[in-house]
Chain A
């Protein structure tokens, strides 16, 4: 029996040691890049809906994330129709590109540059509705330019903005704000400032917004 307990200690030391030392020496994502927070220009995301809406929903999202694409294409049209167009909700989009995604930060940049020409939501819809780009692993720069043309952007201004990474600071600031709020995955939502932990469906949002609206009358 004593030999068995020695075996347990050995297993704990060997397996624990392999896991612990295997994970050391690798930089944490947060420490890999300087923090250009000063470049954030106080921007707090593009919004949809009335400024007088009683409830604000903030979405932290990643253009390369399949759940975000599914949410944007399946649930969001209903939310726009039932909650945003009716003046109940103001929707705020924040970037939270995950480090595991190769082109999500680039996609966020493309959307920000479209936003510079007041077409953020049009580019948002293009990026999520034509989400095959996220599965191919190929450089999507040319495809994003096609999206830009499709939604009527001035392509020279778009190119200058993307090539100069004009809004990289904004995107990084958005990531930092999300991390500070406890965002871990995407999409994550805050409804009236509180982390939304329900299912990300239009029905659940509608139920919560209706209940919040009643308490804020």
Chain B
């Protein structure tokens, strides 16, 4: 239960960060609060869009899905349901792999780091780890009979 609550809280924070980056990308926010780092440089690079869609929007969708599935998984009837644990692990694995790709682009192609992107990467990695732990500790026997 605690693990799943942590996933929901982390997904909520990730959702807010991704929404912030997406609002900047579509011009609603004029400037990013970056401090040290190269947020605008990363956000204005060609790699900040995939098929014409801002990468941050994929983040919004990903975190929102994790948040909703995590909330569903907190309901008493789904707490021990292995399908929820599997869904969360699959979603988080997609997110983690995408995060690895984006971080590699920052480090090896752009040679620049956006601290919001690093924050999102840390959040997604933590969610991924928690979902794997949850998957390992949710007994298969708890799955409903087929």
Assuming the A-B contacts A8-B9, A23-B32, A197-B51, are A67 and B46 also in contact, with contact meaning beta carbons closer than 8 angstroms in the complex? Answer: yes
A-B contact count, CB below 8 Å? 67
Q: Is A195 an interface residue (CB 8 A)?
A: yes
Instruction: Decide if B44 touches A98 in the complex (CB within 8 Å).
Output: yes
Instruction: Decide if A8 touches B12 in the complex (CB within 8 Å).
Output: yes
Q: Which has the most chain B C-beta neighbours within 10 Å: A8, A31, A186?
A: A8
Interface size band for A: 20 to 34
Instruction: Decide if A15 touches B16 in the complex (CB within 8 Å).
Output: yes
Instruction: Decide if B5 touches A200 in the complex (CB within 8 Å).
Output: no
CB distance from B3 to the nearest CB of A (A): 13
Instruction: Decide if A197 touches B30 in the complex (CB within 8 Å).
Output: no
Closest residue on chain B to residue A17 by CB atoms: B16
Q: Is A27 an interface residue (CB 8 A)?
A: yes
CA distance in complex: A195, B74 (Å)? 45
List the interface of chain A (C-beta within 8 A of B).
1, 4, 7-8, 11-12, 15-16, 19, 22-23, 26-29, 31, 66-67, 98-100, 184-188, 195, 197, 200
CA distance in complex: A8, B49 (Å)? 30
Contact of B13 among A15, A99, A185 (CB under 8 A): A15
Instruction: Decide if A23 touches B33 in the complex (CB within 8 Å).
Output: yes
Instruction: Decide if B46 touches A185 in the complex (CB within 8 Å).
Output: yes
